[in-house]
Amino acid sequence: MNINAQQIISIDVSHWSEAGRYKAIRALNDIAAEEAPVSSGASSAWQEVLNTALLRLAPSAMVQAKAIRRAIENGSRVTRAEVYELGGYEASRSLKGFTRPCNRVTKALKDEGLLPRDAPELLAPVYDSKVKGYQQAKAFTVPDGLVWTLT
């Protein structure tokens, strides 16, 4: 572990299990919430329950969880090509319904009162507004305000 004068902490977690990394992120999020509470609003609400959502997705929707993490790393967006890469999908595979597991988790978190009713979906498809009718999603986005970089 390295701590420098700028108060940046870096820990190599490349050999840790996925569960271990989530546990570390949860602990850091708890400390961050105590030290610098986030502002109110839908985006900050997502910050507070992000790890819960990722843990719920992990058992059956690993590619979606990976896509969310990649979008956060990218500043809120993951491309269609990145989703194919993350999932090891063949080019002929459809992504129809790709966000359904995320939508189910979002609904459950709202039903449990962990998210406000007007919170945006955790992962939303991005379409070309100039194209009318059916089209493939160009990318997927996470709500504004998810600022953690998960490594």
The residue type of 80 is R
Higher pLDDT, 12 or 100: 100
Provide the CA 132 distance to its chain's centre, in angstroms: 29
Model confidence pTM above 0.85: no
Higher pLDDT, 37 or 79: 79
Say yes or no to pLDDT of 90 above 80: yes
pLDDT band (50, 70, 90) for residue 5: very low
Q: Among the listed ranges 43-52, 59-68, 81-90, 121-130, which one has the minimum average pLDDT value?
A: 43-52
Say yes or no to pLDDT of 100 above 60: yes
C-alpha torsion angle, residues 7, 10, 11, 12 (rounded to 10): -170
pLDDT band (50, 70, 90) for residue 42: very low
- Chain segment 104-151, per-residue pLDDT in tens: 999 999 999 998 888 889 999 998 888 888 888 999 999 876 655 443
**Residue 77, strand partner residues:** 141
Beta strand 2-3 with 9-10 is antiparallel
Say yes or no to pLDDT of 70 above 70: yes
Please give the pLDDT value at position 133: 84
Say yes or no to pLDDT of 31 above 50: yes
Please give the pLDDT value at position 145: 66
User: Which own/partner pairs from 133-139 qualify as long-range (CB within 8 Å, at least 24 positions apart)?
Assistant: 136/80, 136/95, 137/80, 137/95, 137/98, 138/79, 138/80, 139/77, 139/78, 139/79, 139/80
